[in-house]
């Protein structure tokens, strides 16, 4: 059954909104603009930080809260006001750090403190090639704080999440130990930093929980949400939305939970989904009303 009343569109960024050249295509930009002009709220739901998301929201002309860090933080754009957080308890975060260190993986701990994004981590001599790739991508204004591993989280404020940047083989070895802890996690086999990623968050945290919190704030039901994504961390969001759309290049596990599959991010998949499931249906509904 096709969606009847979409009022909120939540779009993943990497592999979804952005094409393989890391750009927003003219057709996708036009479809988003048309949806907004039709009175539909469009937001971003991403694993990214605000430092690398805010400029994209500005490029699209969005003035709406956006879902960051896989749902752990929702910030109003462009003023940066915190709408919602779902933090990982410090005690559990320290247990995660201990597991990562046991497997020789440097923990990357994300905080949002006094309107500033910070990256906390362990001693520099524990960095490996994979985490070094991530640090190399960080903007110069990023704040990196280093601690001894035993005090990375214990006695510290609750973080947004912890991420392991390492090989896919090592990520899979980590999963049993991480699964035994009271937390949620997702795996990206090859992320934006050309490494595998294991993100660990609060037990109830996901992009789905973030979009649900935003929808409640806007007075919109999840049945009125269309979500578009391409990777494992989008699965819960696609399931929770009234209309979940997987990108054409998404893994089969992602496609399997979606209500529909659009074209790939190289073929304007986001634009096609908005045109078909929102704009065309809205135009048909308006025509019948007349």
Token representation of residue 130: 């994979």
Q: Tell me the β-bridge partners of 143.
A: 118
Of 287 and 165, more confident: 165
pLDDT over 70, % of the chain: 96
pLDDT tier at 284, thresholds 50, 70, 90? low
Question: Do residues 226 and 241 touch, judged by C-beta distance below 8 A?
Answer: yes
SS3 state of residue 20: coil
> Which long-range CB contacts under 8 A does 131-139 form with residues at least 24 apart?
131/105, 131/106, 131/165, 131/166, 131/195, 133/165, 133/193, 133/194, 133/195, 134/108, 134/163, 134/165, 134/193, 134/195, 137/192, 137/193, 139/51, 139/52
Q: How far apart are CA 239 and CA 252, in angstroms?
A: 14
pLDDT tier for residue 289 given thresholds of 50, 70 and 90: low
Selected residue with higher pLDDT from 280 and 9: 9
CA distances from 79 to 3, 12, 218 (A): 32, 21, 17
Confidence of residue 113 (pLDDT cuts 50, 70, 90): confident
- Residue 141 pLDDT more than 80? no
Per DSSP, the three-state class of 123 is coil
Choose between 146 and 194: higher pLDDT.
146
Exposed/middle/buried for 164, CB within 10 Å: 0-12, 13-18, 19+?
Answer: buried
pLDDT the model gives residue 243: 97
pTM: 0.94
Q: What is the pLDDT of residue 136?
A: 84
Q: In this predicted model, what pLDDT tens digit does every residue of 247-257 receive, in sequence order? A: 999 999 999 99
Average pLDDT for 109-122: 93
pLDDT exceeds 60 at position 287: no
Q: How confident is the model at residue 190 (pLDDT cuts 50, 70, 90)?
A: confident
Predicted local confidence at residue 194, as pLDDT: 83
């Amino acid at each position: 059954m096709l969606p009847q009343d979409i009022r909120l569109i939540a779009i993943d960024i990497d592999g979804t909104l952005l094409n393989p050249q890391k750009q927003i295509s003219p057709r996708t930009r036009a479809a988003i603009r048309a949806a907004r002009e039709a009175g539909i709220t469009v937001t971003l739901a991403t694993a990214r930080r605000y430092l690398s998301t805010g400029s994209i929201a500005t490029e699209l002309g969005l003035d709406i809260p956006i879902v960051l860090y896989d749902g752990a933080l929702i910030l109003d754009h462009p003023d940066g006001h915190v709408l919602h957080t779902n933090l990982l308890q410090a005690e559990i975060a320290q247990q995660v750090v201990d597991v990562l260190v046991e497997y020789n993986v440097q923990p990357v701990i994300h905080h949002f403190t006094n309107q500033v994004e910070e990256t906390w981590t362990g001693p520099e001599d524990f960095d490996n090639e994979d985490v070094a790739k991530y640090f190399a991508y960080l903007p110069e204004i990023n704040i990196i704080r280093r601690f001894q591993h035993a005090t990375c989280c214990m006695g510290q404020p609750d973080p947004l999440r912890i991420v392991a940047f390492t090989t896919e083989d090592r990520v899979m070895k980590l999963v049993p130990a991480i699964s035994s802890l009271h937390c949620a996690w997702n795996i990206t086999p090859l992320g934006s930093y050309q490494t595998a990623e294991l993100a660990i968050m609060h037990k109830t945290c996901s992009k789905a929980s973030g979009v649900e919190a935003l929808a409640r704030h806007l007075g919109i039901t999840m049945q009125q949400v269309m979500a578009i994504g391409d990777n494992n961390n989008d699965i819960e969001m696609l399931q929770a939305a009234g209309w979940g759309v997987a990108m054409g290049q998404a893994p089969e596990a992602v496609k399997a939970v979606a209500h529909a599959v659009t074209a790939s991010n190289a073929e304007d998949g986001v634009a096609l989904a908005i045109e078909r499931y929102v704009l065309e249906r809205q135009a048909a509904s308006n025509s019948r009303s007349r």
